[in-house]
Amino acid sequence: AGEAPAPDSSGLGASAPAPSDPANPPPADPA
């Protein structure tokens, strides 16, 4: 997970607004 449109553990990838990744935390998001 990250800036690149790659499928994450959640299977959503860049489609979702910063999905929670167990290994790679999402970018700084106030929510």
pLDDT band at 22 (very low <50, low <70, confident <90, very high): low
Residue with tokens 């167990």: 22
SS3 13: helix
More confident residue, 29 or 15: 29
pTM of the full structure: 0.15
Left, alpha or beta for 18 (phi > 0: left; psi -120 to 50: alpha)?
Answer: left
